[in-house]
Structure 1
C-alpha cells in the first residue's frame, strides 16, 4: 500500500472530521501553527493540506478569519415534477425555482439581460431550424434569500415573441416562468427534455455564483416542446454542484 505524502494524510484526517461533523459548517479549523505542532510538520505541509481541501470545495480561507468549513445546504431539484409548479394554477406567484428553494416571491430575485441572437450550428440543431434564425437570448441570474444560486441562458424564437410582453425584460420575474409564458403565447409546453453534464465553472460563473475554489458545476441543456415544435432552448442552466441534488423518478 502506497504511503501518502504528509499533506495528503493530514488533509484526509481533516476531511473525515469535516464529514463526521466534528468541524461543522462555519467552524474555523485549527491554526497552521497548531496543526504543525500536532503533526510535527512544517507550515508548507499544512498549507498544502488546506489547498487540497479548498480544491475539493470543503473549506475556504478568509482574510483575517483563518480557514473555515464551507457549508451550503443543497437545494433539491425535482426534475420530473418541478415544472408542475409552473403549469398548475397557483394561489400565490411561484416558479419551479422558488419551489426548489422553498422561498416566497419576496425572497426571489432575477437579474436579466435580453438581446437578439442568430442561431449557431448547435442552437439550430436543438431548435431544428436553419442556422442564422433570429432568436431572443435571455441571460438570467437567479437569487434566493439574497444569494445567487443559478445561471440560465435561454432562447426563444424571435418570430414567436416579437412585440409581446415575453420580450420585455421589465415583465420579469414572470409568475410561472417560461411554461407560463409559452401558455400566454398560445403554445403551452407539452414536453421537457433535459441533458445533464458536469464541468468546472468559468471564472465569470464562479464569481457570479460566489463559488468556492474547486467546486464543479452541473450544466443542464433544456428543450421545451409544444407538440412537435421546440419553442425554448436553455443552453445552459448552470448550478453549483455542491448546492443541488437531482432527483429522478421513473415509472415502469
Structure 2
C-alpha cells in the first residue's frame, strides 16, 4: 500500500525536528516552499502540518508560521509504592511535596466517570461527592488536576462536603473522624488526550496527552471510600520506579551463559 503524500512529508519533517535539523522555536519552511519542494499540493502540506500539530511537535503561530515547540524537560515523579506524611498530611510523590492549590477546591454532587463508578461500587448514574483541585508549583505553574470521588454513604452530611476539611485533609478525616482507618491505597497509571477544559486548566499546548493516575483508598472493611483521579501533562512529567528482584531472579541464578 502506498503511503499518502502528506504522511511521507510529515515523516520527513518529524525526523528533521527530532534530529535537531529544525531546533525548538525554529520555523518550518513556508507551505508554498514545501509544496514546491515535494511536488505536492499546498493542501497536502497543510494535512502534514496538521498531523504534526496533533502530535504536539509544532504549533501554527500567526505571522510567524509553523513553529517547532520547545518541549520542557520532563520532571521525574518516583512512585516508590509508599505513602509519605508531613505537617499537611499524606502525600504520594516526594517531588510534589511543595505543590499548592491554585484555586479553591470545587465541591459538587453528580455521577462519576464510568470506570470510577465501578471502583466505588456505585450505580452509573448514582450521585457521588466530587472534590476537584488544581495543584501547582510555588511559581503558580499548574501541574495537576486532582478530583476525589466519594460515595454518598461515606460523605453526605460530613465535613467532606466542605472546601476545608481541616488539618491532614480528607484522609485524616476519613481515618480518624469517620472511622475508616487505617486506609490502604492502590494506583493504576494510564494515558489519554485531554478534554478542552482540562487542557486549558493545565495550560497544555495542542496535541499534548495526559498521564492519568487513578488511586483507590480502601478501608480495613475492604470498602473503597475514595477514588482519586489525577491528570498531569505527559510532556512535562514521567513516572519512575525501582525494579526489585523477585526471589526467582536471585543472583547468581545458576543459569549464567544462557
Q: Same fold (TM over 0.5)?
A: yes
Q: How many aligned positions are there?
A: 241
CA distance in 2, matches of 1:181, 1:65: 53
- 2:203 maps to 210
What value does the CA root-mean-square deviation take over the aligned residues?
3.8
CA distance in 1, matches of 2:31, 2:199: 27
- 1:88 maps to 85
Q: 1:134 to 1:44 in 2, by over 3 A?
A: closer
Structure 2 stretches lacking a partner, 5+ long: 247-258
Trace 1:112-191 onto structure 2 (pairs within 5 A).
Answer: 112-117=105-110, 125-128=118-121, 135-144=128-137, 145-157=139-151, 160=154, 166-169=160-163, 171=164, 178-179=170-171, 182-183=174-175, 185=177, 187-188=180-181, 190-191=183-184
Give the CA deviation at 1:113: 1.0
CA distance in 1, matches of 2:80, 2:22: 35
Structure (1/2) with the larger helix percentage = 1
Instruction: Compare CA radii of gyration and give the structure with the larger one.
Output: 2
TM-score where L is the length of structure 1:
0.72
Q: 1:114 to 1:42 in 2, by over 3 A?
A: same
- 1:220 maps to 213
- 1:245 maps to 238
CA distance in 1, matches of 2:119, 2:161: 21
CA distance in 2, matches of 1:46, 1:245: 32
Give the CA deviation at 1:9: 2.2
Q: Report Cα offsets for 1:205-230 as digits up to 9, x if no partner.
A: 33333333344333333201233332
Structure 1 stretches lacking a partner, 5+ long: none
Which stretch of structure 1 is more off in the superposition, 8-17 or 112-121? 112-121
* 8 Å contact kept, 1:150–1:238: yes
CA distance in 2, matches of 1:9, 1:215: 22
CA distance in 2, matches of 1:121, 1:48: 35
CA distance in 2, matches of 1:26, 1:183: 50
1:79 paired to 2:79? yes
Q: 1:188 to 1:34 in 2, by over 3 A?
A: farther
* 8 Å contact kept, 1:72–1:242: yes
> SS of the residue aligned with 1:210?
coil
- 2:250 maps to none
- 2:255 maps to none
CA distance in 2, matches of 1:36, 1:154: 50
Give the CA deviation at 1:242: 2.8
Q: 1:100 to 1:62 in 2, by over 3 A?
A: farther
> SS of the residue aligned with 1:28?
coil
* 8 Å contact kept, 1:6–1:45: yes
Give the CA deviation at 1:190: 4.0
Which stretch of structure 1 is more off in the superposition, 115-124 or 210-219? 115-124
